Structure 1
């Protein structure tokens, strides 16, 4: 298997040279709208930063990773301003026709509700459980924009950090976010929260490339699978996400 993915990577490099994009093969720009512990860390040690950077390293490409607002990241990659989006759910290629998905998932996102630690918990079996509640989420997060339609009031936050300030100031009863980023942001706020179960939704996450880099899809799939097979993926997970695992954060 090791020789197999190396062969595919070499073939992809030749394809890039033959299609006139060889000058971009050594270094690409990646964007994201994520927060620690997944990305956006000062030293680049976020889980997805490390996973995606390692996958590209294995096919001979260096990444320059930067954070931009959620909608801007999609537009930048679709228009070719940047080369790839670090992590998105499937389906964005329908709305952004110049995006190409790498069909090997990088992780699963669990979209959950956070409430103050002192509040009475309730089950979040479906989106209807948010009915008649004041709910906050980050503007540009499509899953919440599509599904949060029956809350008493919706508050749009400009960033993940400001989302938990809204909760601290009692401007919302419930905030919605991906689990890992929410746990870290609550600690940083700081605000005492609890995570409601079960998750409102789960989604597999993928790398998206601008279509001019479509030849990189097969070697990236091979590299990600190799990382999972040789234990690299699991080691990065242990070092970045497991220390942050907690359902309740008290201050």
Structure 2
């Protein structure tokens, strides 16, 4: 069954590429609520920006990518204002009926807690490990909205940069975010942090399209698989992520 799916996806990719040679590339609008090093870079050099843009190029499409708030990104794609959300975990199609998922992951996210380097780390092997602490996360990050239960206090931030201002001002003992973006945001804010281990959660991340673009899914699956097979996916990862310290937040 998997071989048949890959064959169909490969044929679909070839059709899109052939169409792209004969016609102007279809141009879609992509939205996200990410920050460097994944997206939101001034030159479009973030990891997901590069991976997704290349996958769409191979599938005969061009992308315009812009950053907007997390909740707004979901609403815009669901209502058709924009064409796709750059990166979400699985399951959003259940809440947003006009979203369809491209079933080939773009990366894995690790959702972790960051605490000031001067504080005493504590293990985060379960969501309940947060219950005796004041924590903060960004409004619209569904994994935290769904899983953070009782805490001493929960603070909701409007953006990722403001999240680390909250930590700097001691308005929260821990802030919750995806690992790569948290390390980058902490450095930008001038906050020395510890990353608490283990991660609170891990999740595969996917592109979500508005359902009017459902026919493009096989070509995008094939393009992403091709990138992983020919080494271009791994090269982009080396150039954008693995040069960034993963385990050390102190700089």
Classify the TM-score, shorter chain: over 0.9
TM-score, normalization by structure 1: 0.92
CA RMSD between the two structures: 2.2
1:205 & 1:250 partners in 2: Cα distance? 27
Moved over 6 A (4+): 1-4
2:137 & 2:218 partners in 1: Cα distance? 35
The Cα offsets for residues 123-154 of structure 1, whole Å up to 9 and x where unpaired, read as: 10000100110000001111111111111000
* Structure-1 residue corresponding to 2:222: 222
The Cα offsets for residues 86-137 of structure 1, whole Å up to 9 and x where unpaired, read as: 0000000011111110000000000000000111111100001001100000
TM-score, normalization by structure 2: 0.92
* Structure-2 residue corresponding to 1:100: 100
Secondary structure (helix, strand or coil) at the match of 1:249 reads coil
1:67 CA displacement: 0.5
Secondary structure (helix, strand or coil) at the match of 2:65 reads strand
* Structure-1 residue corresponding to 2:33: 33
1:11 CA displacement: 3.7
* Structure-1 residue corresponding to 2:11: 7
Q: Does the aligned pair in 2 maintain the 1:12–1:215 contact within 8 Å? A: no
1:9 CA displacement: 2.2
2:135 & 2:93 partners in 1: Cα distance? 29
User: Does residue 123 of the first structure (1) align with residue 127 of the second (2)?
Assistant: no
1:248 & 1:177 partners in 2: Cα distance? 16
Q: Does the aligned pair in 2 maintain the 1:186–1:193 contact within 8 Å? A: yes
* Structure-2 residue corresponding to 1:244: 244
For structure 2, which runs of at least 5 residues remain unmatched after alignment? none
1:181 CA displacement: 0.2
Q: Does the aligned pair in 2 maintain the 1:102–1:220 contact within 8 Å? A: yes
1:211 CA displacement: 0.5
1:249 CA displacement: 2.5
Secondary structure (helix, strand or coil) at the match of 1:86 reads strand
